[in-house]
Amino acid sequence: MEHCDAFLRSKNWIDNDLDSRYINVKHPYAILVSEDEGQITLRGNTGFDNGQNGEEIFTFTSLNELQEWFENNIGE
């Protein structure tokens, strides 16, 4: 999961609060990275909590899965 931060930053997703919740103002999602659980969760971004309480859309167990999702769904 250590490369997840670099990947997300390269796609203009930022972690403003340094709490592993990444947002991109161009997308209606938030990406939460849990090093302890080894999961990356894509959630709906409710706008004020950076996805903390947003509906879970996908859970990835590897950076490769997240990269594939980006390519297939966001085109990046």
Can you give the pLDDT at residue 76?
67
pTM value is: 0.83
Give the pLDDT score at 65.
Answer: 95
C-alpha span between 25 and 48 (Å, rounded): 12
So where are the chain's domains? Answer: 4-74
pLDDT for position 59: 94
pLDDT of residue 23: 93
The model's pLDDT over 29-59, given as tens digits with 9 standing for 90+, comes to: 899 999 888 899 999 876 677 777 778 889 9
Helix, strand, coil percentages for the chain (3-state, nearest 5): 25, 30, 45
